[in-house]
Amino acid sequence: EQKLQLVRGRIRAFPDFPSPGVCFRDITPLLKDPAAFCAAIDLMEDHLRKTYSQIDVIAGLDSRGFLFGPTLAQRLGIGFVLIRKKGKLPGATESVSYSLEYGKAELEIQADAVDPKQKVVIIDDLIATGGSLWAACTLLKKLNAEILECLVLIELKTLEGAKKVTPFKLCSLLQYD
Ligand code: 5GP
């Protein structure tokens, strides 16, 4: 498909970043190319419109989920909420800690970000181990939201992040080994 090719052509690989053995998928060329960025949003919008009759909220992950989520939410005519790193959100929050390759991290959501039973799609740029999206799902479960799926631009298949977010569905536009 033409749009997918356009998107794929704007993802750069940086071997050994940020550490030896890791191949970093850089999305900055996609953001610099309005046609390619538009194609990525088109594909996400088409997928969501085809799959769901109702979505209430898009929830995006700090920080690159913020690059896609608001635009996508505008296209769908719905709201966008933030899932942020610890200590950034004012007021009452829910938080969850999760393990990284080295150490721990914590994500937070405002307690009133979504209402119980609201149908939510969670978005990020990329899924690696799935730890971040697992934490995001855990936060939305705490708020009693209905999680429809996790949606990412890029899935790193060999790290099996899809398993980590089970039982929730993971959808990706591009897959790499
Ligand atoms: P996970 O929690 O699934 O192991 O890691 C996913 C998170 O790390 C995402 O929020 C993503 O932005 C970031 N990340 C990890 N590896 C990469 C990468 O190769 N490229 C980009 N753009 N982000 C990455």
Q: Is 93 in the pocket of ligand 1 (CB under 6 A)?
A: no
3-state secondary structure 55-74: CCEEEEECCCHHHHHHHHHH
- Residue 96 has a pLDDT of 98
Is pLDDT at 103 greater than 90 in this prediction?
Answer: no
Q: Is residue 21 in some structural domain?
A: no
Average pLDDT of the residues in 15-29: 96
Spatial neighbors of 37 by CB under 8 A, at least 6 apart, are 30, 31
For the domain that residue 66 is a member of, what is the CATH number? 3.40.50.2020
Q: Is residue 106 in some structural domain?
A: yes
Whether ipTM exceeds 0.95? yes
User: What tokens does 158 get?
Assistant: 């060999």
Is pLDDT at 118 greater than 80 in this prediction?
Answer: yes
Domain coverage including residue 91 = 53-176
- Residue 133 has a pLDDT of 98
Q: Is residue 150 in some structural domain?
A: yes
pTM: 0.98
**Going edge to edge, which strands form the sheet with 170-176?**
93-99, 104-110, 79-85, 57-61, 119-127, 146-156, 170-176
Tell me which residue has its CA closest to atom 23 in ligand 1. 126
| 64 labelled catalytic | yes
Q: Is residue 25 in some structural domain?
A: no
Could you give the number of structural domains in the chain?
A: 1
Residue 101 — very low, low, confident or very high, per pLDDT cuts 50/70/90?
A: confident
Ligand 1 probe mutation, 123, 132, 157, most atoms within 8 A of CB: 132
Q: Is residue 45 in some structural domain?
A: no
Q: Is residue 19 in some structural domain?
A: no
Counting from 1 in the atom list of ligand 1, the atom nearest the Cα of 26 is 22
Q: Is residue 26 in some structural domain?
A: no
Spacing, Cα 147 to ligand 1 middle (Å): 21
Counting from 1 in the atom list of ligand 1, the atom nearest the Cα of 98 is 2
| 45 labelled catalytic | no
Given the residues 25, 64, 75, 94, the one annotated as active site: 64
Q: Is residue 88 in some structural domain?
A: yes
